[in-house]
Amino acid sequence: MLSRGNIEGSLISLMSNKVKTQGGINLAQGLPSFAPPKGLLRELKEILRGSYHQYPPGDGHPNLRDFLEHNYRSKGIKEYQFIITQGATEAISLCYNYLWSLAEGVLPSFSFDPAYESFIHLPRIFRQKLTLLPFQDSDSIDFEKLENCILKNQIRVIFIASPGNPRGQTLSREEWSNIFKLTAKYGIFLIADLVYDQLYFHKQQDIPFEEAHSGVFIVESFSKLFSITGWRLGALGMHTKHFQGVKNTHDYTGLCAPSLLQEALQRYITNHPGAANRYIARIKKQLSQNYSLATTLLKDAGFTIKPAQGGYFIWSQLPEGINDSLRFALELYDKTGVAVVPGIHFSKQAHRFIRINLARTPNEIKEGVMRICEFTRKKHDE
């Protein structure tokens, strides 16, 4: 079995860069091949000659911040402010950096397994203990086990992504309520990654935001919604009691996303809200159709699919007899030109899993998944 320790850095970047430099089909990185909204590109073109080429406000475009704050007030969450960040990754990192400082360098962390790479590696970078707890086979949270885990490991911060990455599963309203209550009971910070919240397949998750406490931080992304991941437009929301502290941390650890891109986006969502909503609806529909197509093909080839309710990804167990996801992914690309992410990037237990990016055109999804299936069948015949 190939060793993860022999490969430096992110396996997402490793596999995605193979396609970027050598060609192929990128089903590894959460990189959409959908065209951005035409109206958004027109707004960008119209302001190129404007005065938006200098530093933006440190906490972001005021209209974008107002948009987010109004949106969350309408959902029941009060006294929250947002900072515009360079993507959701910076938002998560900024939040963790602030909380580490607030906790005076002692920040035992928790995430469900499998976990997004930032949830795994930020604690490692800050030399903090990370505790991982798998979902049950039913994909629901065992709150008795979670509470025992919190107490045993003296957890100070919990990462939650819903829809998850890589799993694509969402928490129920009851589970969100219990998470809010449990973190409030023990004074635990909660980083809620809601990047894919609006990119659901059939029904949006129901989050009781009115129950959120002041230790809840919200991570958002405009980039995913509008297929502009290269624009790096994310956001971090927090209770007003944390705003100045987070802002101070941000001022000295990063700069806001580019002025030009923030201006174009705020004009688009302000001047063309109907078009923006229709675009998001089309993307949701396409992701759902891609999920159905890909899962059907993969199941026929012997893969086991973990059910997902939204997001960009399929979390798939390899067929019986294939036990090394890293070797599988490397050989798959070498033989077929299709890049996927080995499951061990998200969990030490996921030697038989891969993550597949759904945010591609239907033709790419069909061709890429058919190549995966054909490669797998040939491996069985060897």
- The dotted CATH code for 38-271 is 3.40.640.10
Q: Is the pLDDT of residue 84 over 70?
A: yes
Query: Each residue of 264-285: pLDDT tens digit?
Result: 999 999 999 999 999 999 999 9
Rounded CA separation 119/105 (Å)? 17
Q: Is the pLDDT of residue 6 over 80?
A: no
Query: Each residue of 33-43: pLDDT tens digit?
Result: 999 999 999 99
Could you say which DSSP state residue 36 is in? P
User: What's the pLDDT at 3?
Assistant: 52
DSSP letters of 150-218?
A: HHHHT--EEEEESS-TTT-----HHHHHHHHHHHHHTT-EEEEE-TTTT-BSSS-----GGG--TTEEE
User: What's the pLDDT at 78?
Assistant: 86
CB atoms within 10 A of CB 253: 12
Rounded CA separation 233/193 (Å)? 14
Rounded CA separation 194/210 (Å)? 16
Domain ranges in the chain are: 4-32+276-381, 38-271
pLDDT tier at 211 (50, 70, 90 boundaries)?
Answer: very high
User: What's the pLDDT at 49?
Assistant: 86
The pTM of this model reads 0.94
Beta bridge partners of 189: 157
Which option is the CATH number for 4-32+276-381: 3.30.450.20, 3.90.1150.10, 3.30.360.10, 3.40.50.2000? Answer: 3.90.1150.10
pLDDT tier at 1 (50, 70, 90 boundaries)?
Answer: low
User: What's the pLDDT at 5?
Assistant: 52
Query: Residues near 212 by Cβ (< 8 Å), separated by ≥ 6?
Result: 77, 180
pLDDT tier at 127 (50, 70, 90 boundaries)?
Answer: very high
Average confidence score pLDDT of the chain: 94
